[in-house]
Amino acid sequence: MHIKIVDIPIGEAPLWVREAWIGVEIPLFCQDKNTMEFYGVLSGYPSLAKRLWNRVTGGSPKVTGYIVIARDAVDALAKSNLSAADWWFENVPQLMDGVELFLFDEDACQIVATG
């Protein structure tokens, strides 16, 4: 199964980069929706102390969406907008190692059956 991005996803990337996702199809890492704490790609994954503080204070928003492998997503984006894909490699290259994950919010996604 894949997701197709049908609306501007939430996140810290510039608006023009997030707009470029619209129309892109990405294979799912896991078939079901997930609800998890949402961390931005620019502000980064917080330390353990910060994560615990966020849980106590409600500082980290919870987002429901679909999980994809970040590198697969950016490779799919490159097929339609190379400049937007380059933004990811230039600004968060540590996410392009093939094991990092993105969460796309459910409101921005449509499930596409493959096969």
Per-residue pLDDT tens listing for the chain (115 residues)? 999 999 999 998 999 999 999 999 999 998 899 988 777 676 655 555 665 665 666 666 788 999 999 999 999 999 999 999 999 999 988 888 888 889 999 999 999 987 6
Indicate the burial class of 66 (C-beta count within 10 angstroms; 0-12, 13-18, 19 or more).
buried
pLDDT of 113 reads: 85
pLDDT of 40 reads: 67
pLDDT of 94 reads: 85
